C-alpha cells in the first residue's frame, strides 16, 4: 500500500511513497514562512524541528449515496461515493488492508551502477484520518536501503462503495546515514491547493481500460503517479508462496516517459512482487518475503509510532487528527 516523485517502491506507496527524499526537496521552516502568502493550506517540516499540531475532531459527512461510474477515474471523485461508516475498511480483493497486517518486501535498487539491498516494511494501522470529507485508513511505510532506515511515511487510503481504493495523500520523513531526522513533506487532498485524490486500485481491473491517476499534488510536492492494467492471469513465485491469476499494474509518471514500475498483485494477498521496464534509473526489484499478523502489543506499538509521525507532521493545515478505528469495523 508509498514516495518521492522520482523514487518508487514495492509497498503501497510508490517512491515519494517509497527512497531517501532529496534534501533539496525538503523545505525548511524558514521556507515555510516564504510560502505563507501562497494560499496553500499545506505545510512542511524542516530540519530545525516540528510545527505545533492543532488536533481536530473527525466529522461524518451526511451525504446520500451516488452512482459510481463503472470505470471511475480521479475526475469522477465525489465524497458521496463513500460510506461514512466504512470508507476506511479496505477489503478490495487485490489490495486487502486488514489492520495489524504487515508486509515485508526484500530486494535491491540500482544506485549509480551499484546494487544496494532494499527492504520495504508496510504496516496497516488501526488508525483513521478524515481527509477531504472522507475517513481514510492510515498505513505506515518504512524504507530501508542497505540496512538503514532512509524514509518513513504515512499514507491515507479509503474504499468507495463500488470497491475502488482511493489515495488521499501522504506524509514522508527522510533520515540521514545516522538515522537522524532530516525533514518531512506532506500533501493531502483538499489541504494543498490543486491536490486531488486518485485511485490506487480499481474494484475490477481489466485489460484495455484507460490509465488512471493515483493522486496529484502540484509543485513543490510534484506527485503525479498513474496506473494501467498491464497483464492479467500471470503466475509468479516469491519467498512467501507461489501465485496464479496475478494482476500486473504498470505505474508511471507522465513527466518521465519510458520509466515504468511493474507491480504484481495476488488476489487476497496484495502486492507480492515489484519489477521495472524501460529506462527506470533505479531498476528496483522486490519480492514479498514475509506476511506478519501483529499481536495486540505489536499493533499498539505500530499505532504509537504512526502517531509520532503524525505529531511531527503538523503540516496538515488543521486537518482532523487520527483516531482509533471504531470497534467492529
Could you give the 3-state DSSP secondary structure of residue 61? coil
Percent of the chain with pLDDT over 90: 63
Q: What is the pLDDT of residue 321?
A: 82
Residue 73 pLDDT greater than 50, yes or no: yes
Q: Taking the mean position of all CA atoms in its chain, how far away is CA 79?
A: 20
Tell me the per-residue pLDDT of 287-318, one tens digit each, with 9 for 90 and over.
999 999 999 999 999 999 999 998 887 655 56
Q: What is the pLDDT of residue 112?
A: 80
What are the percentages of helix, strand and coil residues in the chain, rounded to 5? 10, 45, 45
Q: What is the pLDDT of residue 322?
A: 85
Q: What is the pLDDT of residue 48?
A: 30
Percent of the chain with pLDDT over 70: 78
Spell out the residues 6+ positions from residue 313 whose beta carbon is closer than 8 angstroms to its own. 45, 53, 154, 171, 173, 184, 186
Q: What is the pLDDT of residue 114?
A: 85
Residue 124 pLDDT greater than 90, yes or no: yes
Q: What is the pLDDT of residue 64?
A: 62
Q: What is the pLDDT of residue 326?
A: 87
Residues 140, 154: Cα–Cα separation, whole Å: 5
User: For the residues 177-205, what does the mean pLDDT come to?
Assistant: 91
Tell me the per-residue pLDDT of 56-68, one tens digit each, with 9 for 90 and over.
344 445 556 678 9
The overall average pLDDT reported for the chain is 82
Q: Taking the mean position of all CA atoms in its chain, how far away is CA 11?
A: 8
User: For the residues 23-33, what does the mean pLDDT come to?
Assistant: 30
Q: Can you spell out the DSSP letters for 232-279? A: EEEEEE-SS-EEEEEEEEEEE-TTSTTEEEEEEEETTTEEEEEEEEES
Tell me the per-residue pLDDT of 74-117, one tens digit each, with 9 for 90 and over.
999 999 999 999 999 999 999 999 999 999 999 999 888 888 99
Q: What is the pLDDT of residue 318?
A: 62
Q: What is the pLDDT of residue 317?
A: 55
Q: What is the pLDDT of residue 58?
A: 42
pTM of the model: 0.81
Residues 7, 136: Cα–Cα separation, whole Å: 24
Q: What is the pLDDT of residue 316?
A: 55
Q: What is the pLDDT of residue 67?
A: 87
Domains of the chain, residue spans = 23-47+88-324
Q: What is the pLDDT of residue 280?
A: 85
Tell me the CB-side half-sphere exposure of residue 217, using CA atoms within 13 A. Answer: 26
Residue 1 pLDDT greater than 70, yes or no: no
Tell me the per-residue pLDDT of 140-174, one tens digit each, with 9 for 90 and over.
999 999 999 999 999 999 999 999 999 999 999 99
User: For the residues 259-279, what does the mean pLDDT come to?
Assistant: 96
Q: Residue 12: which pLDDT band, with cuts at 50, 70 and 90?
A: very low
Amino acid at each position: 500500500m508509498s514516495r518521492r516523485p522520482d523514487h518508487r517502491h514495492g509497498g503501497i506507496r510508490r517512491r515519494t511513497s517509497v527512497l531517501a527524499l532529496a534534501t533539496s526537496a525538503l523545505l525548511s521552516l524558514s521556507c515555510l514562512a516564504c510560502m505563507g502568502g501562497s494560499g496553500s493550506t499545506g505545510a512542511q517540516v524542516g530540519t530545525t524541528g516540528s510545527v505545533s499540531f492543532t488536533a481536530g475532531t473527525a466529522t461524518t459527512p451526511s451525504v446520500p449515496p451516488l452512482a459510481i461510474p463503472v470505470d471511475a477515474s480521479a475526475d469522477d471523485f465525489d465524497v458521496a461515493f463513500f460510506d461514512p461508516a466504512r470508507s476506511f475498511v479496505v477489503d478490495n480483493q487485490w489490495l486487502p488492508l486488514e489492520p495489524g497486517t504487515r508486509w515485508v518486501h526484500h530486494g535491491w535498487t540500482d544506485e549509480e551502477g551499484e546494487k544496494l539491498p532494499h527492504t520495504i516494511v508496510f504496516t496497516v494501522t488501526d488508525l483513521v484520518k478524515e481527509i477531504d470529507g472522507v475517513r481514510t485508513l492510515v498505513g505506515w511505510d518504512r524504507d530501508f536501503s542497505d540496512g538503514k532506515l532512509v524514509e518513513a511515511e504515512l499514507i491515507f487510503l479509503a474504499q468507495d462503495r463500488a470497491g475502488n481504493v482511493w489515495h488521499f495523500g501522504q506524509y514522508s520523513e527522510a533520515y540521514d546515514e545516522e538515522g537522524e531526522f532530516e525533514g518531512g513533506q506532506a500533501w493531502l487532498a483538499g489541504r494543498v491547493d490543486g491536490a486531488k485524490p486518485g485511485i490506487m486500485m480499481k474494484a475490477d481491473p481489466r485489460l484495455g481500460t484507460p490509465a488512471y491517476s493515483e493522486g496529484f499534488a502540484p509543485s513543490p510536492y510534484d506527485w503525479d503517479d498513474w496506473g494501467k492494467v498491464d497483464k492479467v492471469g500471470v503466475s509468479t513465485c516469491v519467498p512467501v508462496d507461489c501465485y496464479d491469476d496475478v494482476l500486473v499494474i504498470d505505474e508511471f509518471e507522465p513527466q518521465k516517459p519510458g520509466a515504468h514500475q511493474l507491480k504484481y498483485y495476488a488476489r487476497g494477498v496484495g502486492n507480492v512482487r515489484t519489477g521495472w521496464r524501460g529506462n527506470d534509473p533505479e531498476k528496483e526489484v522486490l519480492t514479498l518475503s514475509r506476511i506478519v499478523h501483529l499481536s495486540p502489543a505489536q499493533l499498539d506499538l505500530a499505532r504509537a509510532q504512526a502517531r509520532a509521525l503524525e505529531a511531527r507532521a503538523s503540516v496538515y493545515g488543521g486537518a482532523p487528527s487520527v483516531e482509533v478505528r471504531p470497534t467492529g469495523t
